[in-house]
Amino acid sequence: MRPGARNKIVGTVKSVKKGDVMSLIKFDVVSADELSSVITTESADELDLKEGDQVELVIKAIHVLPIKRE
- Each residue of 55-67: pLDDT tens digit? 888 776 666 777 8
Residue count of the chain, please give it.
Answer: 70
Q: How far apart are CA 16 and CA 23, in angstroms?
A: 7
Residue 41 has pLDDT above 70, yes or no: yes
Parse the chain into domains and list their residue ranges.
7-68
7-68: CATH topology is: OB fold (Dihydrolipoamide Acetyltransferase, E2P) (2.40.50)
Task: Order across the sheet with 35-40: list the strands.
Answer: 35-40, 22-29, 7-18, 54-60, 63-68
Query: What was the pLDDT predicted at 2?
Result: 64
Q: Comparing C-alpha atoms, which of 10, 16, 8 is closest to residue 48?
A: 16
